[in-house]
Structure 1
């Protein structure tokens, strides 16, 4: 077995196709640059900031020019008797409409920032799950490759023993069957690895193949009992509530009619006289007093707040479920590493010695090896479950550093806050 593993390592080191794996931190840095969802969130923030600039402006004035008493008949023939009136009108907002508009726009900016942070948390959690799956697939493929190398070594030994009559032909056939099964398992694990790493490449926006680092599965973290279930979406929920309150206030301000002031000059060509004109207009809310808009804004605010609260409760349930999965996977991992795996390794060592001495049949050795590789795969499965559960918890709580997941503080301290 030692010779087979050494040969496998040397073959891997000499392979020209070997490439350095992309670390999780490198994948996260690339995700920040490539993710269309984050760029869309940045565009939404810029739109909200532009909306604030627009909301903080007064209404534009308008200019009117009227020509009367021209191109008619009798004394109004031609343009000598025309009267020309030039007027500038300026709407005057009442009831704090401009202040209400800017409050809504500021709330939109705060909400855009909160939603951007939430999208970043979702993407990082998705990256952790995808990277963990790819790392686990590659680790399983490595185990399968070791299993094939060992089976090939045993097949060569079995052929030599068969040639000298040391074992029966049926015993050699069992060795060949085990070799075929190992090669089939290796092929399946390689396909799974290709699929998982292709998904990882698509997520980070890479055109070339991305190789995951299996050491990611051994990333340490705090005890799950120390994680407080506090949803990181509280800032988004607060921003939603502020925006809806601002919209209700804007609807109430809209009920107060605005004034329109008019001022200008009138020129009478026939009298060769000039006079000033002025006026004020105010709409009369006989048919629509704006009450329906206030009721509509209040109902929309209630709907948005209740929907946000429902999302927060769902997030808490998701975190509780993820913590339960995390604790269960940790217990399984501790049991495998502390009991099952050491026992399987001792059993293989004993049966291999007995098989070499001819005291045990190959069936016993094959069963022991199957148990060992099953234990190693079970450890990888438990590690992947831990990584997935940590990603689920991090998506809800935002506790990435406590969970052993890097925060890209050197790029943007707020990107995964």
Structure 2
């Protein structure tokens, strides 16, 4: 009688487990009914909350103003720190360009001579008062050189603002991927804990019925405890991952994350050669070269001395007469002739050229590595979520039936269940790795925007 009851409980428990495992999409358990009723919080919604374009690689026109971003529903929220810093940098460079175009201010000068002396020059009786204006004249093309340097720096600041947006887009995407993967792992391990709990109850009944020894119950109890600990840990990891995403967005993340997007794998194949010249990294390096070129131009212009032209009116107190005074001054480049500054600027120009060449090599290597990671992760995910998962599910199904009929021992059953759980986790990890590599590849290949006022 006890054996009949135990066999019935085994069949019912395993049937319920098998039904739970066949209902969700391949490789991942289904979400709860309450979460299915809520609309999914998509990656586009997360990017919109961060105020960045949802389409990676979409060029945008840089502007020098704008301290806020538009959140979901058209509401305006405070810019995230990285975007706010980049926007302020553009505003500062714009102001610096206006400053560079200004001419030197004239000087108002006055002199009083022949006072406080002796004899005829006692007091102010023979004083000579001179009042006039001195106007510095910049020579050597200093003002155009300053403007060119300011334009180059403004262009670099605008590119840096686009880099900040691309980096923020990548960071939001990676946190979203991390949160989505953590939730899927939590679901897998929670189901595994349920299976281990059922196996422990069945083992207890079989021990009571005298079908197996107590060691089987003890083994099932250990596995049940370990599975529950792993499930609890995965739950906490999912909560932390969602909290990190909310902290970055400074907005609540409600509802389940987009399961359809997470499980989608786009087409992949052999890596395709990409032109790195138009990417943000290369355009930024080229902007640094143009800035260094403009700095050399400024340094050379500073070697030409400036003139100061002055015109004065002098009053002679002794005769109460007035006379005009004209002056011209030019500095003598005796101690500083500007050669050191030119040498420094030329060295920085050489450095910028070398860094640009290095950026080409690094960008090509990083793109090639990301393309390989995308292909490998996609292949792993398709294998783990397709034939690999089907084989693991079938092996677990056969092990359950054989164990319930006494043909397989508990070790074979547990090994099959563990393999199925590991295959599901491998599928989730491969999906996370695929999306992460794809996000990094999109960041590396983000085209440079059209910069307004770009002085090339």
TM-score band, normalised by the shorter chain? 0.7 to 0.9
User: Where does residue 366 of structure 2 map in the other structure?
Assistant: 318
Deviation at 1:363, TM superposition (A): 2.8
The verdict on how the C-alpha distance between 1:315 and 1:99 changes in structure 2, with shifts beyond 3 A counting, is: same
Partner residue of 1:23 out of 42, 47, 56? 42
Partner residue of 1:109 out of 137, 154, 171? 154
1:50 aligns with 2:98: no
| SS in structure 1 of the partner of residue 123 of structure 2 | coil
1:144 aligns with 2:189: yes
| SS in structure 2 of the partner of residue 275 of structure 1 | strand
Q: Which runs of 4+ in 1 moved over 6 A?
A: 8-11, 18-21, 207-211
2: distance between equivalents of 1:270 and 1:46? 57
The verdict on how the C-alpha distance between 1:11 and 1:47 changes in structure 2, with shifts beyond 3 A counting, is: closer
Matches within 5 A, 1:167-316: 167-205=212-250, 213-223=258-268, 225=270, 227-231=272-276, 232=279, 233-316=281-364
The verdict on how the C-alpha distance between 1:363 and 1:104 changes in structure 2, with shifts beyond 3 A counting, is: same
2: distance between equivalents of 1:153 and 1:72? 114
Gaps of 5+ in 2: 1-13, 52-68, 70-78, 452-456
CA contact (8 A) 2:285 2:355 kept: no
1:82 aligns with 2:140: no
TM-score normalized by the length of structure 1 = 0.85
Residue by residue over 1:194-219, the C-alpha shift from the partner in whole angstroms, topping out at 9 and shown as x without a partner, is 44344434444569999755554324
The verdict on how the C-alpha distance between 1:63 and 1:39 changes in structure 2, with shifts beyond 3 A counting, is: same
TM-score normalized by the length of structure 2 = 0.78
Q: Which moved more, 1:53-62 or 1:211-220?
A: 211-220
The verdict on how the C-alpha distance between 1:268 and 1:305 changes in structure 2, with shifts beyond 3 A counting, is: same
CA contact (8 A) 1:197 1:212 kept: no
User: Where does residue 413 of structure 2 map in the other structure?
Assistant: 365
The verdict on how the C-alpha distance between 1:196 and 1:228 changes in structure 2, with shifts beyond 3 A counting, is: farther
Residue by residue over 1:262-309, the C-alpha shift from the partner in whole angstroms, topping out at 9 and shown as x without a partner, is 012111222121122112222233443322222221111111221232
Q: Which moved more, 1:300-309 or 1:152-161?
A: 152-161
Gaps of 5+ in 1: 401-411
CA RMSD after TM alignment: 3.2
2: distance between equivalents of 1:244 and 1:274? 52
Deviation at 1:260, TM superposition (A): 0.7
